[in-house]
Amino acid sequence: DIQMTQSPSTLSASVGDRVTITCRTSQGIGTWLAWYQQKPGKAPKLLLYGASSLDTGVPSRFSGSGSGTEFTLTISSLQPDDFATYYCQHYHSYPWTFGQGTKVAI
Amino acid sequence: EVQLVESGGGLVKPGGSLRLSCAASGFTFSSYGMNWVRQAPGKGLEWVAAISSSGTYTYYADSVKGRFTVSRDDAKSSLYLQMNSLRGEDTAVYFCARGHQLLQPWGQGTLVTVSS
C-alpha cells in the first residue's frame, strides 16, 4: 500500500498569509493526487486533482504542484473561509489512502 | 442538484452487524463508481471500499476486508455497505462519495458506534 505523509499536522496562520502544505508518498504516483478541504462537522470537498488542476468553483488562490512522491498545496492569500483541515489523497492504485490532515488555524 | 444521503448508522455491540445505505439523486447513478470513506471521532479520513459503475469490481481496505461488503442497486440509485463482525475501531462517521478515483461529492455521513 502507498503511505502518505502530510506536513505540518497543524498550521497557525493569519488572514492574508501564504500557506503551504506538503504531502509525500512512499512510492511514485505520477500526478495521481487530490486535495480535499474539510470544515468541522461537514463532509470533505474536492479542491484539486491531478496534483494541480482546480475543481470547478474552487478559488484561484488555491494551487497545487508536484509529481512523483512530493506534492504541495498552496493558498496564496489565506481568507477567513479557508480555516479548515486539508487532506491529500492518492488515486494511483487501490487501496486509496489519505494523508493525516493539516489543520489550518488562526 | 447532486445529492448523497447516508442512513443506517447507530449503536451496535462488538461482533454485531449493520447495513448502511446511501441514496443518490441528481445524476445517473449507474454511470459512476462509488465509495465509502470513514472518519473516526477526531481523526482523519480512511477510505473503506469502492465499487465500479457496473458493480463487477469491488475493492476494500485491508482493515475491513472479509468483514465488510459493498454493493449497489442501480434501480434504486442506492449504495450499500454491509458491515459484519464489527469492532470498536470501526466506530466512525461513514461517508459515501461518488467517483471512480476522485471523490466528489460526498454525503453528510452517518455515525456508527460500536460499543457494549
Interface contact B106-A44, CB threshold 8 A: yes
Please indicate if any CB of chain B lies within 8 Å of the CB of A83: no
Say whether the peptide bond before residue B105 is cis (omega within 30 degrees of 0): yes
- List b or e across B71-86, with b for residues whose CB sees 16 or more CB atoms inside 10 angstroms: ebeeeebbbbbebeeb
- Inter-chain contact B101–A32, Cβ cutoff 8 Å? yes
**Which cell numbers hold the place of B70?**
459493498
Instruction: Look at B44 and A44 and tell me if their CB atoms are within 8 Å.
Output: no
Shortest CB distance from B107 goes to which of A43, A89, A98? A43
What angle (nearest 5°) sits at the alpha carbon of residue B27, between those of residues A31 and A42?
65
pLDDT of residue A40: 95
Residue A106 above 90 pLDDT? Answer: no
CB of A30 within 8 Å of a chain B CB? The answer is no
Mean pLDDT for A20-33 is 98
Mutate to test the interface with B, among A46, A53, A92 (most CBs of B within 10 A): A46
Q: Give the tens place of pLDDT for each residue, B3-54.
A: 999 999 999 999 999 999 999 999 999 999 999 999 999 999 999 999 999 9
Q: Is the pLDDT of residue A96 over 90?
A: yes
**Of the partner residues B45, B60, B104, the one whose CB lies closest to the CB of residue A98:** B45
* Confidence at B92, pLDDT banded by 50, 70, 90: very high
Cite the DSSP H helix spans in chain A.
Answer: none
**Rounded mean pLDDT of chain B?**
97
HEC per residue, B71-104? EEEHHHCEEEEEECCCCHHHCEEEEEEECCCCCC
What phi and psi values does residue A75 have, to the nearest 5 degrees? -110, 115
How high is the pLDDT of residue B60? 97
Chain B residues interacting with chain A (CB cutoff of 8 angstroms) = 35, 37, 44-47, 50, 59-62, 95, 101-109
Total CB pairs under 8 A between chain A and B? 56
Q: How confident is the model at residue A74 (pLDDT cuts 50, 70, 90)?
A: very high
Residues in B touching A45 (Cβ below 8 Å): 104-106
Mean pLDDT, all residues of chain A? 97
Q: What angle do CA B17, B23, B27 make, to 5 degrees?
A: 145
Q: Is the distance from CB of A6 to CB of A87 less than 8 angstroms?
A: yes
Is pLDDT above 90 for A55? Answer: yes
Residue A16: Cβ within 10 Å count:
9
Task: Give percent above pLDDT 70 in chain A.
Answer: 100
A94 lies within 8 A of chain B by CB: yes
Closest-CA residue of chain A to B96: A43
3-class DSSP state for residue A38? strand
Q: What is the mean pLDDT of residues B62-90?
A: 98
Which among B47, B95, B105 has CB closest to A97?
A: B47
Instruction: Report the gap between the CA of B107 and the closest CA in chain A (Å).
Output: 7
